[in-house]
Chains A and B, each alone.
Chain A
Amino acid sequence: MDNIEDLLKNAKIQPLGEAALQVSFGETINPQYSRCARSLAAELDKRALPGIKEAEVGYTGVAIFYDPLLLRKEKVANEDPNLSHSFQVISNLVREILTNLKLSGEDNSPKVRVPVCYGGEYGPDLEYVAEYHKMTPEEVIKKHTSGDYLVYMIGFAPGFPYVGGLPEEIATPRRSTPRLIIPKGSVGIAGSQTGAYPLETPGGWQLIGRTPLELFRPTDMEHPSVLSAGDRLEFYAISEEEYKRIAAQEGSGTK
């Protein structure tokens, strides 16, 4: 385990074009880097500095998007003429935040419970995944519902979680031919990743089930994505009847 203070001190800051920069805490998928990234993003959101448009949490760090025009008048001590003014303003700010950053609490956050109807038409690849690992479909479901999952980032599609923590025993390569349409709510496996599709899209994941939850809610300005980076997840199995009941509730917007 890396020392958190060192991670924060040694963060790498690189330009991402001239109107954004990337702060990285490492190069691999690691809960520690993710925690540093989320804490930094939360602090930036809290400070709501003029000139900063948004902070986006990634696996290993945070991208900060800013408007150089609005940072034009900020002062920079010992300015480096080769770097842009705005890059220096934001990097100095990030360094300052990182020296005093309090990391967000981790273990006390409640798990988000995601109901999944496994197999059948909802999970057409469950049988394949079971055969691939010489297990029964029930054993695959048991493994999938027992994982300790962390949402590292939201991306690829709105509300789509990049989830780590899939038990290695059911890690399964992507399908050789991607499907043109993956129904909304599909829960799948791709290598050692698992996740759920908030929208109908094409994709190559092995589909083992489907959740009736609306993971993306564009009318909710505060939380258009039900899941956020840093959420701990738990999948639990439901019957088809329960799936239909929850889906009807979600559809009527009572949630």
Chain B
Amino acid sequence: MNILVKKSGPMTTLQDLGRIGFQKYGVLVNGAMDSFSSRLANILVGNSPSEAALEMTMLGATLELPAGSLFALTGADLAANIDGKPVPQFRPVYVTKASTLRCGFSKRGCRGYFAIAGGFDVPLVMGSKSTYLRAKMGGYQGRVLQDGDSLKIGAISALAQKFIQKLSAKASDAAAFISVPWFAPCDFLFGEEVIRVVKGQQYDWFTPASIQDFFQEPYLITLQSDRMGYRLDGKPLERRDKKELVSEPVTFGSIQVPADGKPIILLADRQTAGGYPKIASVIHADLVRLAQRQPNYKLHFKEVSLAEAEHLYFQQEDYLTQLADIIEKRLQ
């Protein structure tokens, strides 16, 4: 079975949880910007959480889905509909007859995720299905989706098959799709609270006044922001220590400051190393909210301790584990 891409949207790529273990060869990690939503979408359709999902940015895709398929939409609300009837998010949706799923402009959030029971049957490149745009590899032919692409669906899990049978018994001839009354609550993804950070390795290289600015002034996500990084605009950050930094590894969420003083938050498609000093690093638990922020949004930063960052990370992961347990029971 295949999904036909009628309209791809401007920036739709296949992403899983990234390419792990190859940074020493200069290979980017890539992967979903909002890995919570990508994992949840897959869990909702009985896939492994590490299966790939379609990541759609700001404007979603129009997809022709085969009859009998089971899909889920998470992350940004792309106002999805089938035959004009709104398709609910954060729950499994069963397609009773071949249908066209239309996603539009985001009403909330920045990145929507689409997962399908069985996952996407594309080759693993270095252990991952994530699209690596610069190297033109991984994902679907190493590129963003285009109109007319045909995505092959993989083997459906026993759990999903059972659930599909259950739903198909309830299906009537009239409705193109049916869903369930329950859903996985994820409002926290769109919370407007401050973005929490831990100190970066070169935190002390900045002037006390600039460190104060960083935590008190707003920093705008500019239009020059993408999966590689968010370029911020705000009060320029000045260094008291002008010594040169030798290129060193960076991570998802590293906030580096080039010579012009405008911070850049490094994200999923970051390079493996960077030569600009890092003032801070966005904590893991807040990366998902950051990934859902659109350009022109003003960010505020707050410092937390490393211990607190880890605690918040555990909290978020535990929440996903709880959701996964509940969903699995519901699917059975």
Contact = CB atoms under 8 A, between A and B. Distances in A.
B251 A154 contact: no
A155 interface: yes
Given A82-B305, A199-B134, A18 B248 contact: no
Interface in A1-20: 14-20
Contact of B246 (A14, A27, A219): A27
B203 to A, nearest CB: 10
Contacts of A15: 198-199, 201, 281, 306
Interface string A43-85: 0000000000111111111010100110010000000011111
Contact of A72 (B21, B281, B283, B314): B314
B319 interface: no
B211 interface: no
A185 interface: no
Contacts of A41: 24
Interface size band for A: 35 or more
B182 interface: no
A216 interface: yes
Nearest to A86: B310
B248 A60 contact: yes
A29 interface: yes
A219 B248 CA distance: 27
Interface residues of B, number: 43
A16 B272 contact: no
A158 B135 contact: yes
B248 A22 contact: yes
A170 to B, nearest CB: 22
A152 B42 CA distance: 40
Nearest to B18: A53
B183 interface: no
B126 A224 contact: yes
Interface in B275-324: 281-284, 305-307, 309-310, 313-314, 317
A155 B246 contact: no
Contacts of B314: 68-69, 72
B20 A53 contact: yes
A228 interface: yes
Nearest to B305: A82
A162 B284 contact: no
B317 to A, nearest CB: 6
A22 B134 contact: no
Interface in A62-116: 63, 65, 68-69, 72, 81-87
Given A22-B201, A56-B249, A218-B125, A157 B306 contact: no
B246 to A, nearest CB: 5
A32 interface: no
Interface in A151-195: 153-160, 162
Given A16-B254, A41-B24, A153 B284 contact: no
Contacts of A158: 22, 25-28, 135
Given A53-B21, A56-B23, A69-B314, A157 B134 contact: yes
B283 A56 contact: no
Given A56-B249, A154-B25, A156-B26, 10 more contacts: A15-B199, A16-B249, A17-B254, A19-B251, A20-B251, A58-B249, A60-B248, A81-B307, A224-B22, A228-B25
28 contacts: A15-B306, A16-B250, A16-B251, A17-B252, A17-B284, A27-B246, A56-B24, A56-B249, A56-B273, A60-B248, A61-B248, A63-B251, A68-B314, A72-B314, A82-B307, A83-B305, A85-B310, A87-B306, A156-B26, A156-B272, A157-B135, A158-B26, A158-B28, A160-B26, A162-B247, A218-B125, A218-B135, A228-B24
